[in-house]
Homo-oligomer: A and B are copies of this chain.
Amino acid sequence: MSTASTPSPTPASELDPIFKPKSVAIVGATPRKGSIGHTVLHNIMASDFAGIVYPVHPSAPFIHSIKTYPNVSVIPDPVDLAVIIVPWKHVTAIAEECGRKGVRGLIVISAGFREIGPEGARREEDLLAVVRKYSMRMIGPNCLGVINAAPEVSLNATFAPTRSIDGKIAFLSQSGAFGVSIMQQMEWRRIGLSYFVSIGNSADVKANELLAYWENDPNVEVIATYMESFGDPRAFFCIAKRTSKHKPILIVKAGRTEAGRRAASSHTGALSGADVTTDAFLRQCGAIRVSTIEEMMALLMAFSRAPLPKGKRVAVLTNSGGPGIMATDALVTSGLEMAELSEQTIQKVREIVPAEATVNNPIDLTAWGGPEAYRTILPWLCQDPNIDIVLALFVPPLMVPPADVARAIAEAQRGYEKPILGVVMAEDSSYRNLPKEVPNCPPIYPFPEMAVKACAAMVYHCEWRRRPEGEIPHFDVRTDDARAILQPYLAQGGGYLPTVECMRILECYGLPTAPLIETQGPDEALAAAHKLGYPVAFKVAGRKIIHKSDVGGIVLNITNDLELQGAYAQIKRAMERAGLDPDEEAGVVQRMAKPGREVILGMAVDPKMGPAIVFGQGGRYVEVLKDITTWMPPLSNVDTDELIRSIRSYPLLAGVRGEESVAMDYLRECILRFSQLVMELPEIAEMDLNPFILNPHPADCTVVDVRIRVERGD
């Protein structure tokens, strides 16, 4: 019953029956023009599918001049793929029939499942059970369909109104309407697709599986996605991180803000993670986050039509000062560099331009610069070893058709492996069709800013490719001891650990803690202070007080017995004010740490994205200063370097104005140990080391306070 997949350089995959079928049944094809059932059939025919189509309709003898079958069972030949476009109440029964028939792949376009609420979700479960029972694979339900433009397949099983252009971009959309819009935009700009997949509710086939499917497909050079949630973020992360090392992955991740997330969740039932976590997630797997459809188009044009740059030095050629300035502003703001033109280039250009031209970067040809000037100068810029990217701006003056310059820019690209991005400030219809006429036509934009965004994304991608993998060291730690400490708190159902226990957990992982003793009553406190030696701090130990300093639950710099007695009285009052029983609640005596730079090292579990590590300026005012960076564990040594450098106040750690740097190697090690702790103790739902005091010598670096909350996994 199984069908031989088409010859393909990639190994056979369970998804082949969906993307490389030799025969397709359209269940729900109708003769009514404009209906979804008719459009899907029409699109399959119009794309000249390299296989056989079987329309299925209860009564019509033929549709679109093709013989029609009343149901799937009676089709006399094997069927690889069924596209289902019937009302939801029939879908599961038809899937069952397909399974019995030996169909291997389903595309369920029908809506009325998880997206409409609990009842639909149950319906979706039933459908999925049938799919699993017959070992089928399914795209959807509630989707727009799929396209595979490979010539040996040539399948357009969507109801999109657009005819796509063949190319090397695979596009994955979690929103059908968004997908239609993207396809239209791509068609207008002549950006070519190899795959388009609207995954709908993704009950069975999910985004990460498609990424894996495309990872080694030579027909896919760029992957673009619109995502509202990641499904299994860990799986997505691993595949994306691997794939992005050789193919750019562009992601529009919707639901940035709290309100946007509410809109996202009301839409798909998928609660996405906090946005900074998503940013960290995408940054660490090398994906390029894109904010708008327009930006997506700008980047797709660049990645599909321009070679990758070797570096980030950009030369700007313009015939008008204003746009040259605006491009320069945008380039520098995006972290790119203005190239220093070579002496040779400057001389050659100077020889041909009039006196009023500026032979600098930007090169401003002034109104003198026409198509011929661009055709002459652009190759020189391509040859200049000081330049990595060329931005060619043109404002069409009187009597110069914009298409002429667009063509001159396009022709200059030929023979050079250096990206040229064109900006022709005229209606884009004047050069939209150039890619049809000029081979290897570079991307051309109507405004400088989008071209600059594209440059920046290309540079970002190249830097990511070059970035060393890094290593995740393994430290020899006492995981079992740490687990044993957590155990009783987990057994109680979770909650905050007392400070003493928190410190013991850190000690199990070799993190530096200020020595401390838990005490009950004033006498024990005095004994502890004598044992540790003055100066000491005295704090409430309780698990109920989270921000001890807010309730006056901390006294610092106690230098003698008298002061300690005073502190005891103060803490006791604080406990009473906080509604705690001072006789039950313990106090903690801690040796005072040497003052230094205060950082925070923390972790919180995002319900969707998993644990995220936070590092930044610490102390009482973390929330006010907001000088924080977020990263997904496990961290490599390369991640850790970038993490430390990415906070605003990094210069304070590295030493400014003649000061010594804090113990940087030691800090790195502590962060890597912390990352290992986070990975090995998933029962910890939240953890803050704050302040973690840093000094030039490792022996003077100490975690002064810590809180840990555990949660029982289910």
Contact = CB atoms under 8 A, between A and B. Distances in A.
A477 interface: no
> Quick one: copies of this chain in the complex?
2
- Interface-central residue, A39, A252, A624, by most chain B CB under 10 Å: A624
Given A175-B321, A427-B188, A620-B657, A259 B332 contact: yes
B34 A398 contact: yes
Contacts of A658: 550
A266 interface: yes
A260 B328 contact: yes
Interface string A153-189: 0000001110000000000011111101100100010
Contacts of A294: 447, 449
A293 interface: yes
A626 interface: yes
Contact of A651 (B267, B425, B624): B624
A399 to B, nearest CB: 5
Given A116-B356, A260-B328, A323-B177, A364 B267 contact: yes
A256 interface: yes
Interface in A74-127: 111-112, 115-116
Contacts of A226: 322
Contact of A115 (B34, B293, B356): B356
Contact of A625 (B325, B550, B649): B649
25 contacts: A34-B398, A159-B398, A175-B320, A177-B367, A177-B395, A178-B322, A181-B425, A184-B427, A257-B333, A259-B331, A259-B332, A259-B338, A260-B332, A263-B328, A263-B362, A264-B325, A267-B322, A267-B364, A268-B321, A292-B326, A294-B447, A547-B657, A623-B656, A624-B648, A624-B651
A596 to B, nearest CB: 14
Given A177-B321, A177-B323, A255-B329, 7 more contacts: A177-B320, A177-B395, A178-B322, A257-B328, A260-B329, A263-B325, A549-B657
A291 interface: yes
Interface of A: 34, 36, 39, 111-112, 115-116, 159-161, 173-178, 180-181, 184, 188, 226, 228, 252, 254-260, 262-264, 266-268, 291-294, 319-326, 328-329, 331-333, 338, 355-356, 358, 360, 362, 364, 367, 395-399, 425-427, 429, 447-449, 547, 549-550, 620-621, 623-626, 648-649, 651-652, 656-658
Contacts of A355: 116
Contacts of A173: 322
A254 B177 contact: no
Contact of A256 (B36, B159, B333): B333
Contact of A266 (B228, B360, B399): B360
Contacts of A177: 319-323, 367, 395, 397
Contact of A326 (B254, B319, B323, B331): B254
A34 B254 CA distance: 49
Contacts of A395: 177-178, 180-181
Contacts of A267: 321-322, 324-325, 358, 364
A324 B177 CA distance: 11
A607 to B, nearest CB: 18
A620 B260 CA distance: 40
A277 to B, nearest CB: 15
A304 to B, nearest CB: 20
What 7 A-B pairs have minimum CB-CB distances, sorted nearest first?
A177-B320, A175-B322, A267-B321, A178-B322, A260-B329, A257-B332, A256-B329
A644 to B, nearest CB: 15
Contacts of A425: 181, 184, 293
Contacts of A39: 398
Nearest to A326: B254
Contacts of A332: 257-260
A448 B624 CA distance: 32
